[in-house]
A and B are shown apart, each in its own frame.
Chain A
Amino acid sequence: MIFLSISAPSGSRLLRSGFLLPAILVAIVAILVVAPLLRILFTTLTPEGIAAWKAVLVSPLSTNLWWRPLLNTMILGFSVASGCLLIGGFLAWLVVLTDVPGRRFLGLMASLPYMIPSFAAALAWGTLFRNSRLGGSAGFFETSGLAIPDWLAWGLIPTAIVLIAHYYSLAYTIIAAALSSVGADLVEAGQMAGAKRPRIFFGIILPVVTPALIAAASLTFAGAVANFAAPALLGLPVRMQTLSTRLFGMIETGQNERGFVLALLLIAVSALFLWLSDRIVSGRKAFITVTGKGGRTKRFPLGAWRWPLFAVAVVIGLLTTVLPVLVLAASSLAPQSGALFSNWTLHFWIGEGGGEMAQGQAGIFRNPVLIDAIWNTIRLGLVVAFTTMLLGLALAYTIVQRRGSLLATVLSQLAFLPLLVPSIAFAAAYIALFGAPIGPLPSLYGTFALLVIAASAHNLPFAVQSGRSVLGQISADIEESARLTGAGLIRRLFAIIFPLVIRGLFAGAILVFVKMVRDLSLVVLLFTATSPVLSMVAYRYAAEGFMQFANAITLVILVVCLAASFVAHSLQNRVQKWKAQ
């Protein structure tokens, strides 16, 4: 097939390149994905590794190292998954299937929280609910005279709430997409059969979207299990450990083998649940809706409930998007972290150091480390977005071109492997592989290059997926009709292919950029003083109790993310004018 599809003259050279690209890709994927995972596995099979396995699983320490963190992780995973299903499902139902007012607005609000880093919500929670039990300044509520019990200030419950507030929008997106694929015809066929609304909902709509519900549950579960920021900020102060914070703690204190063992166990837990959910929804039950006329959806009248339900949805949206941002903004201006609204000052932003405030630290825009971190972060985001999309496109092209061949199967399976690996465990694997010099190559630990490589590898599944959807924009016919006019490869590339894929590429690249800018769990292990990034600087400040600085930096991250989305949006409209908005 490849011989026919390449029609340029110098056959032998292209024949070789026809095999060269796949060979390079296999090598890249092997180094990026397989090598770190194998390395981390083999490291734990050395005598020290075996000892670590024993210490973690069967020793007096194992309650603290493994069982308790596992229990906490599972509780978090299940409560976050069910909370996200409830809230995301409710909003999706409201927006897609009812005549609630302001549906577009509600849909936009529900998709926003995912753009905000999860540590923003965690920091905002701390700013409001922190109590004085652990010393340090109390939060807004306690300062205002409201006693905050420990369970509401620290530990599992706030962590779960913060994670639900972050991940429900992922569940919303998945469920809403599934619900809008339930055509009006399916519902009306039920009405014609005489079924009442509850019967139609439970007999038709719910079963049809069940695969999406399971997917949403498993993805939010995996997200919660892998999350580092929220349990670290809200749980660590009261020694609530999850697998990811335990793993971080082990590696940070130099107990690498134990950390690697925990990383492998974390991968196993996360992968097990994703695999199980995939089992449930695959096979004959993975029904595709047999769609007809242009995806009309049936909207049920809510009657008297229209406005009350609208209000509920708006409150959910405000609490999870606007409120955290406002709290962070107010806190970054307030000298007393409990008194959010008094004596506002710009000291934490642009103040000079050496004074009474903040133990003499200068404002973030006068702090050379932070200026460095901003550029580093943007550089990291841009470079990773570029490498990821390039790699994704090349992989998707090879996989599509050689569909059905062993090579394509292997490539696509390997490229999707990182999906099963929580990012902090992935970072641990990278430390295992690149922490020490390999042959003549120097140790990459702490370098910018390692961050880029690890991040690109971690984003591979997304990259391949968006590469495939981008390539889906060009049907074989379009390409062939251009070839029949006699246009050469380069000409076709710039005149036909590039204009068609640019929008998809932009969208994918911006998403990767945003993911990188707000990521903490991948960089938290790979970061060093020589390659600071914003999220890490914010985390450090928060861990040391400088809440205002942490909050200010988080706002900077938010602004960068929002600006990127805005740029993406306006660029898209500019480059593809023929697409109606």
Chain B
Amino acid sequence: MNALATGTADAIKIRSLVKRFGAFTAVKDVNISVPAGSFLVLVGPSGCGKSTLLRMLAGLESPSEGEIAFVGQTVSSGAGGVIADAGRRNAGLVFQSYALWPHMTVAGNIAWPLKVAKWPRDKREQRVREVLSLLGIDMLAERYPAEISGGQQQRVAIARTIAPQPSILLFDEPLSNLDAKLRIEMRSELMRIHRATGATSVYVTHDQVEAMTMATHVAVLNNGRVEQFGKPIDLLRNPQTTFVATFLGTPPANLIPVHRVGDGLVFGDLVLAPASLAAGRDEAQLLYRAEDVSVGAVAGVPTLMARFAEAAPIAGRTMVTAMIGDLRITAMADSYFTATPGETIPLSFIRTPDAVFAATGERIHQ
């Protein structure tokens, strides 16, 4: 199972994968494949099945149907269960809880998997020193996990996982227990390690920012299904469902429900777009990015009045949230802006909608 041996096969190929727990289906018909060296991010809200998918990749759960192949070799399948068990698929997993063995020192934690893999002592010690310095934790070698901080435990967990040089690295929400500043640092650190090891990484997170910044490939999961799979920028530019459209991107994009009146698509009394965009449907949803909605009246574009809710300055501009009835709209104001909550402010739709979706959530292509 050497990554170099089979040049053309995908590093990870997931085919028609299904996982059921009793009557509950956690993962439904997932198909994903990525080439060697990719950084695949599985992103979705909690309970979407992303961790179950990762555990199947790790060999800790067996699939109910479908199969998983690493570099052309089937490692798990619905028919055969776990074919190559967790230790024999050349993959390493970084746990959300870090799962450091509390009775071993930092060096002991890193060395143990190598001992299990029967590395000779001198090679083992050399490798431990190597990964300790790669992660910048040389001075912690003789400490116990309980004696180091959360961020340091995180580094130890990563060091332990990469020490046996797995060709596939699996990460289960590894940064979710860190504070905001440390999380950003570790993000870059993880990408550096990913490049340094040359492994194929699979990374599970509920944080779309992590997905957008780290991934070469993103799979957005919802209710056990892959909503959309592709390059991060493609997902952002070309969302195929309203779920993807609203889940990805900062600040969140707006979805405005409209219906057809005559040859216009109307929200309230306001005509927002020509009816042709809805491709004959009576109901549709229009996607406007925050930067497509401006605070203040602009001549010649649709403008409506909303109740101001809150403002947050971002990079020299201000992100403004306002309410129309129960609908929450995010708009951008130039420079600094504020108002009294409840105050009525005008919002202008300065560009045409970025995408149009059916009322049921799927994209309407023009």
A293–B97 touching, CB < 8 Å: yes
User: When chains A and B are docked, how far (Å) is the Cα of A190 from the Cα of B99?
Assistant: 9
Q: Which of A192, A208, A293 contacts B102 (CB 8 A)?
A: A208
User: When chains A and B are docked, how far (Å) is the Cα of A186 from the Cα of B103?
Assistant: 11
B92–A192 touching, CB < 8 Å: yes
Flag whether B100 is at the interface (Cβ < 8 A).
Answer: yes
Could you tell me the distance in whole angstroms from the C-beta of B140 to the nearest C-beta in chain A? Answer: 14
Q: A183-B97, A192-B60, A204-B101 are in contact. List 19 more A-B contacts (CB 8 A).
A: A185-B98, A186-B101, A188-B86, A189-B95, A189-B99, A189-B101, A191-B85, A192-B86, A193-B116, A195-B87, A195-B113, A207-B104, A208-B101, A287-B144, A288-B102, A290-B98, A290-B145, A291-B97, A292-B96
10 tightest A-B CB contacts, nearest first: A292-B97, A194-B87, A193-B113, A185-B99, A287-B102, A189-B99, A207-B103, A191-B86, A195-B116, A185-B95
Q: In the complex, how many residues of chain B place their beta carbon closer than 8 angstroms to a beta carbon of chain A?
A: 33
Q: Which of B93, B98, B102, B113 contacts A188 (CB 8 A)?
A: B93
B47-83 near A? 1/0 per residue, CB < 8 Å = 0000000000011100000000000000000000000
Flag whether A443 is at the interface (Cβ < 8 A).
Answer: no
Interface residues of A in 474-495 (CB under 8 A from B): none
Q: Which of A185, A199, A284 contacts B144 (CB 8 A)?
A: A284
Interface residues of B in 88-127 (CB under 8 A from A): 88, 91-93, 95-104, 112-113, 116-117
Flag whether B327 is at the interface (Cβ < 8 A).
Answer: no
B156-168 near A? 1/0 per residue, CB < 8 Å = 0000110010000
The chain A residue with its CB closest to the CB of B51 is A293
CB-CB under 8 A from A186, the residues of chain B are 99, 101-102
User: When chains A and B are docked, how far (Å) is the Cα of A344 from the Cα of B160?
Assistant: 69
A289–B98 touching, CB < 8 Å: no
User: When chains A and B are docked, how far (Å) is the Cα of A191 from the Cα of B113?
Assistant: 9
Flag whether B201 is at the interface (Cβ < 8 A).
Answer: no
CB-CB under 8 A from A192, the residues of chain B are 58, 60, 86-87, 91-93, 113, 161
Flag whether B184 is at the interface (Cβ < 8 A).
Answer: no
Among B85, B86, B177, max chain A CB count under 10 A is at B86
CB-CB under 8 A from A203, the residues of chain B are 112
B146–A290 touching, CB < 8 Å: yes
Q: Which of B96, B113, B160 contacts A293 (CB 8 A)?
A: B96
CB-CB under 8 A from B104, the residues of chain A are 207
Among B101, B104, B145, max chain A CB count under 10 A is at B101
User: When chains A and B are docked, how far (Å) is the Cα of A292 from the Cα of B113?
Assistant: 21
Could you tell me the distance in whole angstroms from the C-beta of B224 to the nearest C-beta in chain A? Answer: 19
CB-CB under 8 A from B98, the residues of chain A are 185, 290, 292
User: When chains A and B are docked, how far (Å) is the Cα of A287 from the Cα of B108?
Assistant: 14
User: Given the known A-B contacts A188-B93, A191-B60, A194-B117, are A290 and B87 also in contact in the complex, defined by CB atoms under 8 Å?
Assistant: no
User: When chains A and B are docked, how far (Å) is the Cα of A288 from the Cα of B88?
Assistant: 30
Chosen A-B contacts, 24 in total, with CB atoms closer than 8 Å, are A185-B95, A185-B97, A188-B99, A189-B95, A189-B99, A190-B101, A190-B116, A191-B59, A191-B60, A192-B93, A194-B87, A194-B88, A194-B113, A195-B87, A203-B112, A204-B103, A210-B103, A284-B144, A287-B102, A287-B145, A288-B102, A292-B98, A292-B177, A293-B96
B96–A193 touching, CB < 8 Å: no
CB-CB under 8 A from B95, the residues of chain A are 185, 188-189, 292
Flag whether B153 is at the interface (Cβ < 8 A).
Answer: yes
Interface residues of B in 239-297 (CB under 8 A from A): none
A292–B102 touching, CB < 8 Å: no
User: When chains A and B are docked, how far (Å) is the Cα of A126 from the Cα of B285?
Assistant: 84
The chain A residue with its CB closest to the CB of B97 is A292
The chain A residue with its CB closest to the CB of B85 is A191
CB-CB under 8 A from B100, the residues of chain A are 189, 290
CB-CB under 8 A from A284, the residues of chain B are 144, 147
Could you tell me the distance in whole angstroms from the C-beta of B133 to the nearest C-beta in chain A? Answer: 21
User: Given the known A-B contacts A192-B93, A193-B116, are A292 and B87 also in contact in the complex, defined by CB atoms under 8 Å?
Assistant: no
CB-CB under 8 A from A288, the residues of chain B are 102, 146
Interface residues of A in 275-289 (CB under 8 A from B): 284-285, 287-289
User: When chains A and B are docked, how far (Å) is the Cα of A193 from the Cα of B95?
Assistant: 13
User: When chains A and B are docked, how far (Å) is the Cα of A192 from the Cα of B54?
Assistant: 13
CB-CB under 8 A from B59, the residues of chain A are 191
B86–A290 touching, CB < 8 Å: no
User: When chains A and B are docked, how far (Å) is the Cα of A253 from the Cα of B132?
Assistant: 70
CB-CB under 8 A from B86, the residues of chain A are 188, 191-192, 194
A297-337 near B? 1/0 per residue, CB < 8 Å = 00000000000000000000000000000000000000000
The chain A residue with its CB closest to the CB of B86 is A191
A290–B97 touching, CB < 8 Å: yes
